[in-house]
Amino acid sequence: MIIKYNDETIYSLIKIIIMIATKKAPVKATTNSPETDSRLQEFFHGELKDIYWAEKHLVKTLPKMAKAATSQELRDAFNQHLEVTQGHVGRLEEVFNILGYKPQAKKCEAMEGITKEGEEIIADTEKGTATRDVGLIFAGQKVEHYEIATYGSLTQLAKTLGHDEVANILHSTLQEEKEADEGLSGIAENTVNEKAEQE
Ligand SMILES: [Fe+2]
Ligand SMILES: [Fe+2]
């Protein structure tokens, strides 16, 4: 069936599309409290608690991954990212402060699942092998990608809510998660995968 539109209908449709496309972000929120927060601000607050739990959990998990690694290069990468991750915890505390919230963690089921999978990989691969490192890189990259997705969305949402300083802080962490991910890719491509193939 072919539907025919007259000029006026098309003109109205274009106007609606332009209105949606140019819709401005809400104005800056100034104070935050559970009583006065908008639904979106409340959602943002909840997501901050979620990633705060995840980062703190990673501070405990990364040393186990470093210990399980076969190559010194991968062990160093995990240990280096542990230091960076401690910085991410501190940044989130700064974000809570700026927004007038108490730093609070809410269990992140996704990060718990990803790190559990990492433990399974350690259990299923033999100590001292390059295959173990391949598995650890898999687990590490899944962690980093979860963080990249979260910090990307959080940065955008902070901007929408008018929290520009917070957006900048979250963006700094986002960049460091991307660097960690690229670092792991480099180790896989340059050494570990090839060694594992020969095992
Ligand atoms: Fe992080
Ligand atoms: Fe990370």
Cβ atoms of 192 and 137 closer than 8 Å = yes
Distance between Cα 85 and ligand 2 center (Å)? 6
Distance between Cα 163 and ligand 2 center (Å)? 23
Higher pLDDT, 91 or 12: 91
Q: Which residues have C-beta under 5 Å from ligand 2, the single-atom ion?
A: 147, 177, 180
What angle do the packed helices 130-160 and 109-124 form, to 10 degrees? 170
Distance between Cα 168 and ligand 1 center (Å)? 15
Asked if residue 168 belongs to a domain, the reply is yes
pLDDT tens digits, residue range 19-47?
545 444 444 445 676 667 899 999 999 99
pLDDT tens digits, residue range 145-157?
999 999 999 999 9
Is 178 exposed, middle or buried, given 0-12, 13-18 or 19+ CB atoms closer than 10 A?
middle
Distance between Cα 87 and ligand 1 center (Å)? 8
pLDDT tens digits, residue range 108-127?
999 999 999 999 999 999 99
Q: Which residues have C-beta under 5 Å from ligand 1, the single-atom ion?
A: 85, 88, 147
- Rounded CA-CA distance 4/163 in Å is 46
Asked if residue 28 belongs to a domain, the reply is no
Say what the pTM is.
0.81
Cα distances (angstroms) measured from residue 36 to each of 109, 137, 156, 197 = 28, 44, 22, 58
Distance between Cα 194 and ligand 1 center (Å)? 28
Asked if residue 10 belongs to a domain, the reply is no
Cβ atoms of 21 and 158 closer than 8 Å = no
* Tokens, residue 121: 């990989």
Asked if residue 180 belongs to a domain, the reply is yes
Asked if residue 19 belongs to a domain, the reply is no
Cβ atoms of 64 and 139 closer than 8 Å = no
Distance between Cα 185 and ligand 1 center (Å)? 17
Q: How many domains does the chain divide into?
A: 1
Question: Which structural domain, as residue segments, surrounds residue 58?
Answer: 38-197
**Residue 128 backbone class (left: φ over 0; alpha: ψ -120 to 50; beta: rest):** left
CATH number of the domain enclosing 163 = 1.20.1260.10
Distance between Cα 51 and ligand 2 center (Å)? 11
